[in-house]
Amino acid sequence: METHYYNLNRKLDKLQREKQTKRKTDTHHQRTQFYTRTVNLTNIRLSQEELALLNNGLQYSNEKPLKKYYINLIMETEQAIRMLDNKMQAPFWILATKKLKQISASDNHNNVMAKRQTYILKNINSKLEKENAMVAKGDKGKTCVIIYSDVIIYSDVIIYTDEYNKKVHNFLNENNFQKLQIDPTDKYQKLITKTLQHSDLIVNKKQKKYLTQKKPQPTDLRAQIKLHKLGQPIRPAVNNRNAPAHRISKLLVNKINNLLNLRNHYIVKESTALANDLTKLKIEENHRMITFDNKDLYVNIPIQEIFRIAKTLPLENNNEHTSKQMITLLEVTLQQNYFSFCNNI
């Protein structure tokens, strides 16, 4: 519970810092909007109120009625206060009681907009269901795309579902994906557990329990619509949070950076670093800048080539056993190359 509230406070502090930075930036520079917040690829007519709600973006959360969260708020407040020292609890009980009463008293006055937005949201969902459409995420600019659909509701592009599924299936066929008859998640989970037991030089005993997913599930494929490209293809995106190898993958990123001597001489970490490097270049009149764009980069990375490179790169300050365990973990992790879409693996 202490970790839970620590993470919440850290998120709140981050939001406050971002808001203050945003205010300072807005006073000196006019904000530029490069992409339309909502793109409607269907014939569904939306009112100004409905478009305004969609334009709030993917991360916008409509306020819930007080009765739906008030009891949980009281319980979480009580748990947080009980974690304090006994001498400090009494004044916090008084402050919390006053604040909870204020929230309860102000509910009838401040919840008008939330009720209106809830009504508008129901109207949007009704129109989408009637026309067999869905909301999908745009690839650039956090755009909401409405597209015709029949299976998934996702945000932020409005599009017909059958058109959405067609784009996904075209992508899968073009990249030679194969349908599996059996879900390999359970078998893969057992392999990961067994590998962790033999990776004591990489993972300690406390980490092993955390790195093992309790209820692993196949990753879900989501498609982001590339509105800026001809034919509006998709960019595939999968959510690995519940996948068997999710936590191990995060661990390996740090381990590989520390254990492998990677020759990252030509890698750009961020746009600011690139801009700084470009200012140091001496550019002549006959110089030209060329950029290349790899199509579907990640799905075309050769896995066997990754193993070969990882084995041949020099390892610093590590013995042969440590190197072998790390390569074994990497091989097991990269076997997680499946996903689910429309109840298919």
43, part of any domain: yes
Cα separation of 278 and 167, whole Å? 38
283, part of any domain: no
Q: Which of 127, 161, 195 is the last residue of a domain?
A: 161
Total number of domains constituting the chain? 2
Q: Both 151 and 202 in a single domain?
A: no
Question: Residue 179: is its pLDDT beyond 80?
Answer: yes
What is the tens place of the pLDDT at every residue in 299-330? 677 888 877 777 766 555 567 777 788 788 88
Q: Both 151 and 195 in a single domain?
A: no
Q: Both 344 and 208 in a single domain?
A: yes
Average pLDDT over residues 177-185: 83
Q: Both 153 and 216 in a single domain?
A: no
228, part of any domain: yes
Question: Residue 151: is its pLDDT beyond 50?
Answer: no
241, part of any domain: yes
227, part of any domain: yes
Closest listed residue to residue 240, CA positions, set 258, 263, 213: 213
Q: Both 250 and 197 in a single domain?
A: yes
- Tokens in use for 186? 């359970």
Cα separation of 245 and 250, whole Å? 9
284, part of any domain: no
Q: Both 185 and 329 in a single domain?
A: yes
Average pLDDT over residues 286-293: 81
Q: Both 197 and 245 in a single domain?
A: yes
Q: Both 341 and 211 in a single domain?
A: yes
What is the tens place of the pLDDT at every residue in 72-84? 888 888 888 888 8
Q: Both 197 and 50 in a single domain?
A: no
223, part of any domain: yes
By mean pLDDT, which of 104-113, 208-217, 219-228, 327-336 is the weakest?
104-113
Parent domain of 342: 178-263+295-345
What is the tens place of the pLDDT at every residue in 216-245? 888 888 877 777 777 778 788 888 888 888
168, part of any domain: no
